[in-house]
Structure 1
Amino acid sequence: MKLLKRFLIVFSILLIGGLAVGFFWLRSLFQEQSASEVFSLNESLSSRRILGVFAHPDDEQLVNSVFVRAKKSDPNTFTALVTATKGEAGEQVPVVARQKELGIIRKAEALKNGFAMGIDEQEVWDYPDSGVPEVPIQELKEKVKASFEAYRPEILVTFWPESGATGHKDHRRMGLVATEVAKEWKFNSKNRSYPGPRYIAYVITPRKAFLTLGGEIGKFVAENQPDPTHSLGSETDSKLKGWEIHASQGDYVREAYGIPARILYMIWDKEFYYVVDLEKQ
């Protein structure tokens, strides 16, 4: 019995040690040495108006900390979010509604989560899910221009056009449209009362993690995005609440990454951004 007890103790120690080594190895894949950690983007960039331009309901989960910490650092910071589609082509995980009504459900989820994150103004457009690149680009640009006029952001948060954070074609197109509008606005700002956003903050996904664990899509994303300049700690409670609100996507993290969301956010514990100062372009 003593020998068995000793064996079990040694086995337990080795198992715990192995799990600890595995955890810290995984966590190292989700770090970016080039990024300087800040509490909030608006505080670090001395800005008080933020607009996010994205493609699908639940995309805001990738940039949750930007919006939540904007209010924590300065309650007077104005935040707005544009979502180009209602996500009607998505897969339900779990199934919570008739598929033909999924767009209605996901639009409501996006609006509810935006409210929970403290976003002041929010729009969910009606462009086709997975069909954004087929929409005339000038039409999309006019819509984004109208959002600039309405919300007058100093910081634009969007996808890096070459990678879209996940490789999704809708993400890449909305990042391209938002970027072109911001740059054109800045170029033509002399005759405008609003000079356009000074900064574009592109959400960047962890390169080593996507290269190691993401297959061909992960490799594409990692090889087509810049090194991040800024990082923010993850607002885990808000993100977990967000997945509860996005009930039709509530098991997305488990399905996509193979682990519960709470565990993922212990490993992927930061958001990363590549920030461009348009006044220095």
Structure 2
Amino acid sequence: MIPFPVIGVARPNFLILTPICVSLGLASVLLSEHGVTWGLFAVVLLGALMAHISVNALNEYMDFQSGLDFKTDRTPFSGGSGTLVIQPRLAPYALGIGVVSLFVTLICGIYLLQHVGWGLVPIGVLGILIIVTYTSWINRNRVLVLVAPGLGFGPLMVIGTYYALTAEYSSTALLLSMVPFFLVNNLLLLNQLPDVDADRSVGRDNFAIAWSTEKSAWLFLIFCILAYVMIIMGVLLGRLPFTALIGLLTAGIAYQVFKGIRAYRGEIKHLIPYLGKNVVLTLVTPLLIFLGILADIVII
């Protein structure tokens, strides 16, 4: 029997990001001429959730094994869950959760391949590679670690959802996928700030380590602007309805986070409120876009 506390390695409070990103793929299908096969959508959502749980659990296990988790000053948004630090005996269970979740993801992918064909393979293979190499390899390359999170939750989930439901690729899905691409990259970029010293000690490399906080803040702002540009482009090109512009309402939060990060001078307690606002920004922006698209469809 799996001890209940080990569930912490899945980081359940972060899993809400997955259905929100998948919802953008669903929105792109709703905007197309295709109908939605809800059984297939359930498999897509399950596979995406299992992939998220797998990368979280494997990351927790590897960070425990490397000793990194014993060096970090954990916050609600960074430094891992602390589950294995408190109860080291749960480490084998964490590994098991990571492996089993990855296996379920593979099963979901194989099932979807039988319905939509081999066009889904590149998305699936890249997703699996990110999961199994994220902690051990990707985290040692500052460019890869910057874009891998957004790639997983953006193009892979959004475009993957669209393809799994339609057996086609779509420029609308691509535009929508770029919103979580930039925002999730930002999420991890800022969440690395409290862990700079600990990450450096185990050989990791990221822009939080390589750059000043000032430069990281400007990169954050550029990514936010690009995310909003994707929404505006989608509307101007006729790919998204006017109501999708509701996603721009979070721009004020983005600016607050930018100002807060620029003012950060190394005291983690002053950073935490802005990390929290960044989480809100990352979750609410794509959710508002989905609701805006849904409102347009219902009204029409």
- TM-score between the two structures when normalised by the length of structure 1: 0.26
Q: Which has the higher contact order (CA 8 A, sep 6+)?
A: 1
- TM-score between the two structures when normalised by the length of structure 2: 0.25
Relative to total residues, which structure has the larger strand share, 1 or 2? 1
Relative to total residues, which structure has the larger helix share, 1 or 2? 2
